[in-house]
Amino acid sequence: MPIFEYRCKRCGHVTAFLEKPDSGGRHKCEKCGSTATEKLLSAFAAHSANPAAKSARPGSDSCPTGTCPLTRP
């Protein structure tokens, strides 16, 4: 399940909640108890389970297989 951040409209406190994307997002502020919260747009991180993919980034000097089109001539 993804983590969503909410800001309290009353006090401004930001809280993260683990929830299903379609849950409706009704949460109480953990600081003041208000239910007037708004969902924030947050950055996300992604990673590859393939350790070889790390060296295939643009700017790397080589790829593990030697056939990467991103390598410099």
Contact 9, 38 (CB under 8 A): yes
Q: Where are the domains of the chain?
A: 3-42
Q: Would you give the DSSP letter of residue 63?
A: -
Q: Quickly name the fold that domain 3-42 has.
A: Rubrerythrin, domain 2 (2.20.28)
pLDDT above 60: residue 5: yes
Residues pairing with 5 in the sheet:
16
Q: Which residues of 29-66 are buried (b: 16+ CB within 10 A; e: fewer)?
A: beeeeeeebeeeeeeeeeeeeeeeeeebeeeeeebeee
- Residue 32, φ and ψ in degrees, nearest 5: -115, -10
| pLDDT tens digits, one per residue of 6-50 | 999 999 999 988 888 777 767 889 999 999 999 888 776 666 776
To the question of pTM greater than 0.75 for the whole model, the response is: no
